[in-house]
Chain A
Amino acid sequence: MGGEGWLFLFAVLMAAALLFTSVFFIIMFSDLECDYMNPIDLCNKLNQFVVPENLAHAFLCLLFLLSFQWTALLINAPLLAYNVNKVVITKTHTFDATEIFRTLPQHKKESFIRLGFYLLSFFYYLYRMIVALISESE
């Protein structure tokens, strides 16, 4: 298995992990809505995951850049830009327990969009991995 194969195998695993974090976020939000959890604990818990999730995604993008995978990079660029804006520039990435109920619909929507994006990219990476493997074996 060559470089590209390994790269996309890693990307597939990464996308799966990111997929799980999104699902986890959504579950936590619905827990909050159903009153299984109080907003303070929720925010403390979720805030631990926000930066790692964004870092993981940024790392993936970095790998695509270093291996000149322009298409994959281009697909990820909008989300990367959005994350950078949120974490680095406006610093609004943390969940605020005082505002959480007001912003909950937004957060849920964002998590669903992320979920969809990771799901699509998961299949794209899988496809690219298979293509890479096939082309190697030929």
Chain B
Amino acid sequence: MSQQNDLPPGWIAQWDPTHQRHLFIETTSGHQQWEHPLETAGGPLDATVAPAPAPSGHGKRRAYAVGQTHAYDGAGEVAPYPDAAGYGAPVQPGMGGAPAPLFTPGLANDQFAAQQQAAQGQGYYGGSEQYPAQQPAYGQQQPMQYPPVNQLADQFGHMGLGGQKPFALHTANLVATPPNPLELLMPPPEIRLPPGASITDSPAANADPSYMRSTINVVPTTYQLLNKSKLPFSLVLTPHRTLKSAVNSSVDDPPVPVVTDTVIARCRRCRSYINPYVTFIDGGQRWKCCLCSMSNEVPQMFDWDQARNQPGDRWSRPELTSGAVEFVAPTEYMVRPPQPLVYVFLIDVSHAAVQSGMVATATRTILESLDRIPNDDNRTRISLIAFDTALYFFSLTPGSTETSMLVVSDIDDVFLPKPNDQLVLNLTESRAAVETLLGRLQEMFQDTQIIGSALGPALQAGFQLASTTGGKLITLSASLPTLGVGALKNREDPKILGTPKESALLQAGSPFYKTFAIECSRAQVSVDMFLFAATYTDVASLSCLPHYTSGQTFFYPGFNAARSEDAIKFAHEFGIVLGSQIGLEAVIRVRASRGIHMSAFHGNFFVRSTDLLALPAVPPDQNYVIEISLEETLTTPFVVFQTAVLHTTCFGERRIRVITLALPTTSNISELYASVDQIAVATFLANKAVERTQANKLEDARDMVQKYVTDILGAYKSNMTGGGGAAAAGLAIPTNMQMFPLLALGLLKHVALRQSSQIAPDLRAYAHSLLTTLPSQTLIPYLHPSFYSLHDMPPECGTIGDAGVILPPLLPLTSERLVKHGLFVIEDGQTIFLWVGRDSVPQLIMDVFNLPNYEALRGGKYTLPILDNPFSQRVNAIIGKIREMRRGPYYPALFIVKEDGEPPMRLWALSALIQDRGDQTPSYQQWLGQLKDKLNGSSYN
């Protein structure tokens, strides 16, 4: 097609195999559209017709689908230019070398409506010009295709179709449509609430999907319907997500509005908080709870602006306009006065730890981060315990800035050598002492020859220090705990890897780590684990502590601070963890409309009662998945889910963060399928698979993933396509779930689950902990890495656009795209591989690496030099962008992979290309074949 060439600057055309046409992308803004930019810009209208659906293998259904999507998405764009889009297509068939477009009644009608609309002069120009700026800041990769919900609703309203148009379900054939990674960047299916559901009609009435999203954006009215569809129903929560400036749009994440006047209206019966979906009755004197229909009194001060001491406007209160809101809680919500932030560092100072440079890097990072540790109220306290085969406490000598070291070598019965307040130092008052101590710690132990680690006793000591106030134990360990309680054995046995016995290695090796975790959770103590090991360190057991105390696990295999990449990665992540605004002493409860029940919980916390999650600390960007079951038939037109996180902020304020999500109900199975959020489903599946591995075996987890995919495909086939017949030739799936099978395959091929006898149990266990904690935005690339080609990227990539650095177009994950002279990036959010082809021209190597030729380049961890040439700067900009664009503390390390380099490195990088055939895993096409055979052979027909 000629469309590639005659594009205005800043635009690229990307062939979209799904829709058999070019997708035009304005690279500076990320704006995407189907129409040729010259036409929509009001340029030469007769240049090319708007691409109309070309007849494809799936005949009418397909063409109809395109027409429909077009009418929805492009309505704002199509409408103003009836000449180009509306009339052009039918009147001038065959232009641009395209065959006569197949035209369907659906398309014609919708476009006709759109034209009518435009002809009536409803001012669409303004609307379509504004909307890129109004994009809801979803994640950072906001595609520009969908107008905001309310605007869309407006359009439907104007079109006379009513506010509640049923979801149009489009079926795709998986076998015939190659996966398009761009679809992973799409926002979830739109939530179409009945008109008037929200009393303020605010666009933010439903919280942003990054706070809370559901696997299905329409709730089935009965359990039978849900069961029939085989779709999982769960909520994916990240209540404390960080606010990051959105990458693909110029809009930053809006902060969560705070209600400061401590007027908290709650339902008397179900204890839910007032939200945009309640209704006011009795002239606004009472409100009706949207969860349980209870009528409640509106608090007296609700309409009073306490800040200005004058009557306020009820409708501007954040709890009525925003789905995500934070209340400042009065004393009734406190068991005790808000606790100060207490950090107890447990630092391994055995021979291995000192030699690897961990101690030096850690102390330097703490020293540099002292100003970033939240300490607004000057109450933050820190303490430091070093341990090898004994425990070393550091206490402040009264009246001096020096600390003295106290050695406790009795590790069987741990006691504190001094009272608590002399061991835990106030960061502001004892700043000098803390700094001297941190500066000297490395020196004190630098010649140590002691091997062995009393991690368990150190944890107990740390617990005694922190238990009265609650706090955080930050553990840095470089060897397997061998002494005292919690001693672990080296369970790793290469012979059992890849056999069913392997799964035992992924379960806790000592009951101590569970019982101690429970004690910690009770005393509001959270444990973070930073593990640095040259050899086996039993991540599976150690990560139990962060798991049940809502901490985080970080694992740096083969850490050596002499390699600057290792040191930078650790220092960066550790620094972010220290500086993050955590919540303390938290509980999470999710409430929902009557008939809906929370049945299972996944994530890092302790389940304290059937629906109450206890979190001693809430780190930002942690993901929780909650499974939902339907117990009664739902009769309301929409249902509401409300997550409340009661926590103490790190500046000593008790707050409740309330996140509300309303979803419409349906009794129509096709609407159910059309509203599936594949990202949320994949997140759910990853969590479920890890749970299954820990409770049973790896094989069971793999079977479960496989079963979910086959069940969904089978149910879709029998429910929606009428069983066998013509549909049997392909694999039918709703278009909004097209990437789901690939994501599931990515999960099956992931280090966490893959069938292999080569994967160290530590790596598996760490992958498990990541799968259950990463928010969707980071989890999806972890399952389905991003793949970019650098050597032939468009000239604007790597330069700064409106929304930061422009990334090259995403490629499908197959090694067919690798070329011998190329330079590629494969990244999964945890590691970045820079693949260098063997025939790379010396100029490219020179420009990027400052080396004479390919032979001079060495594989492995690498720091890219910033050179004085535009290409190097662009590559560095892209790498920098990849490192900072997602939420979470992770700082992916960069690896150079040479095409003919060391096989393990190469295989590791290639394992990220999940559409390819692996060692014992099928390629995507093969897998689809297997699924198809299974469906056709089973009783789904």
Contact = CB atoms under 8 A, between A and B. Distances in A.
Q: Do A and B originate from a single complex?
A: yes
B600 A102 contact: yes
A13 interface: no
B609 interface: yes
Nearest to B694: A99
Interface in A86-115: 96-102
A88 B102 CA distance: 71
Contacts of B695: 99, 102
B518 A97 contact: yes
A38 B609 contact: yes
A98 B600 contact: no
A96 B548 CA distance: 12
A39 B608 contact: yes
A21 to B, nearest CB: 24
B697 to A, nearest CB: 14
A40 B609 contact: no
A98 B548 contact: yes
A74 B854 CA distance: 77
Contact of B518 (A32, A35, A40, A101): A40
A136 interface: no
A98 B695 CA distance: 12
A98 B610 contact: no
A96 B514 contact: yes
A32 B514 CA distance: 20
Contacts of A99: 695
Contacts of B518: 40, 97-98
Nearest to A34: B610
A97 B517 CA distance: 10
A102 B522 CA distance: 20
B607 A101 contact: yes
B392 interface: no
Contacts, number: 32
Interface centre among B517, B548, B609, B612 (most CB of A within 10 A): B609
Contacts of B522: 40
Contacts of A98: 514, 517-518, 548, 606-607
Nearest to B519: A40
Interface residues of B, number: 15
Contacts of B608: 38-39
A33 B610 contact: yes
A35 B514 contact: no
Contacts of B606: 97-98
Nearest to B544: A98
B610 A101 contact: yes
Nearest to A40: B518
Nearest to B608: A38
A101 B599 CA distance: 9
B718 to A, nearest CB: 29
A39 B600 CA distance: 15
A35 B514 CA distance: 22
Nearest to A36: B609
Contacts of A102: 600, 691, 695
Contacts of B517: 98
A102 B601 CA distance: 9
Given A98-B514, A98-B517, A102-B600, A39 B609 contact: yes
B600 A35 contact: no
A39 B607 contact: yes
Contacts of B609: 32, 35, 38-39
Contacts of A40: 518, 522
A37 B29 CA distance: 55
Contacts of B612: 35
Contacts of B548: 98
A38 B518 CA distance: 12
A86 B520 CA distance: 28
A117 B695 CA distance: 28
A105 to B, nearest CB: 10
A83 B695 CA distance: 20
Interface string A64-100: 0000000000000000000000000000000011111
A101 B626 CA distance: 13
B511 to A, nearest CB: 8
B506 to A, nearest CB: 15
A40 to B, nearest CB: 6
Nearest to B611: A35
A32 B610 CA distance: 8
Nearest to A101: B607
A24 B167 CA distance: 52
A38 B695 CA distance: 22
A76 B514 CA distance: 34
A103 to B, nearest CB: 8
A29 to B, nearest CB: 11
Nearest to A104: B610
Nearest to A43: B518
B921 to A, nearest CB: 29
B163 to A, nearest CB: 40
A68 B270 CA distance: 60
Contacts of A35: 609-610, 612
Contacts of A97: 514, 518, 606
A101 B611 CA distance: 10
Interface in B783-840: none
B243 to A, nearest CB: 32
Given A35-B609, A98-B548, 7 more contacts: A32-B610, A35-B610, A35-B612, A39-B608, A39-B609, A97-B514, A102-B691
13 contacts: A32-B610, A33-B610, A38-B608, A39-B608, A39-B609, A40-B518, A98-B517, A98-B548, A100-B607, A101-B601, A102-B600, A102-B691, A102-B695
> Top 4 closest A-B pairs, CB basis?
A35-B609, A101-B607, A98-B548, A97-B518
Interface of B: 514, 517-518, 522, 548, 600-601, 606-610, 612, 691, 695
